[in-house]
Amino acid sequence: MKYFFLSLAAVCLLMVSCKTNKNSTANKIQSGVVTFEVLSVGAGTETSTGNSLIVEFDSALTKMQDEPAQMGAQLLFIDNKTQKQTVYLDMPGGKKVALAMGDAKEAENITFLEETKEIAGYTCKKAIVKYMGQDLDVFYTKEIPVNNAFGFKFDGFLMEYAMPGPQASKQVYRATKVEPKAVALKLPEGYEAMTMEVFQKEMRQQGPPVSEFITEGAQFKDFTITDMEGKGVSLEDLKGKVAVINFWFVACMPCIMELPQLNEVVDKFEGKDVEFLAITFDKDAKVKKLITEKPFKYRLFNNQMDMIRDLQIAAFPTNIVLDKSGKVVKSKLGFSPVIGEELTEVIEKALN
């Protein structure tokens, strides 16, 4: 699963503990919905990403879903009894996969502390988890009797946890609302059950799935989108020019690694009939924070999940070149250490 970036999967190993101020086991919630805000934290600042995580649970299942839904992972279900965890993927071409993530592991390298913090009306205890070389603070409650830690067994419900982000930052998930309510969850139907080993083997053999809309030789689908400066562009506007389109997102390390080469390509074709567009599902605030540290010379189009879904983009980064008629002449899925050379060669041919 090299190019699928699951924010849900990154919930693995990060935890903390809470109890309601009423402090009674009779107040334990048997089913309900918990909403998390997603924050970018770094250099002493805390910025909202504009995204959220919705966790629903009943006695049998726990369901986790990003809002807006991130590419790759659509839904995560945890069996509350066995702790088995499954990610449900909607692949390009209509294929649906129920990806078994394996059994949750026993907790290791966790230090439990007496420090507490108020989160969404709950007094939560703190723990420190060693993860990817970082000590991450987490907070949990036992008033919600399910485990929402992806890939990890934990006796408590995580109300705040962190995961590593780009440029030494952290992505923090913090509960903002707990709604006790009747919830009756069911596993999605029509998905092919698959182990991670089989899925990875298929991905290696077939490569990332290529949407029919970005196959080389296809006419690119019509679109109208607005950039970060409020200026719109459509496919019709690009006719008569070569268009270079990059699909990316901030937390995608291979995407960030390509930026210097992409910027060099922009400089190389300055003043020529070439338009460079960078399209992401990330919000403006998240992109603005990144480009203060990592300049990106493409024209930036953020919050474009609808377009990404419509084109069935399933691998990041994806680089596409359109000729002057709007036909796809290059479609490169995934990271390339020589992406600058590849794009330059195709652009020069398309200009002639």
DSSP for 192-254, written as a single string: EEEEHHHHHHHHHHH-SPPPGGGSTTSBPPP-EEE-TTS-EEEHHHHTTSEEEEEE--TT-HH
Distance CA 320, CA 217 (A): 12
Per the structure block, which two tokens stand in for 85?
A: 């965890």
Structure tokens at 213: 């809309």
* Rg for the chain, CA atoms, rounded: 22
- Residue of 110, 150, 131 lying closest to 16 (CA atoms): 110
For residues 74 and 65, the answer to whether their CB atoms sit within 8 Å is: yes
The answer to whether residue 7 scores a pLDDT higher than 50 is no
* 122-134 pLDDT, tens digit each: 999 998 876 555 6
**How far is the C-alpha of 98 from the C-alpha of 195, rounded, in Å?**
8
Identify the residue with better confidence: 95 or 174.
Answer: 174
Cβ atoms 223, 243 nearer than 8 A? no
Pick from 21, 138, 111: which is nearest to 147 by CA? 138
Find the Cα–Cα–Cα–Cα dihedral 292, 298, 301, 307, rounded to 10°.
-140
Output the pLDDT for position 341: 94
Kindly write down the DSSP assignment for every residue of 70-120, as one continuous string.
Answer: PSS--EEEEETTT-EEEEEEE-GGG-EEEEEEEEPBPP-SEEEEEEEEEET
pLDDT digits (tens, 9 = 90+) for 251-302: 887 898 899 999 999 999 999 999 999 999 989 998 998 899 899 999 999 9
Q: All domains of the chain, ordered by start, with CATH?
A: 9-204 (2.50.20), 210-351 (3.40.30.10)
Could you tell me the pTM of the whole model? 0.62
In sequence order, the 6+-apart residues with CB closer than 8 A to the CB of 341 are none
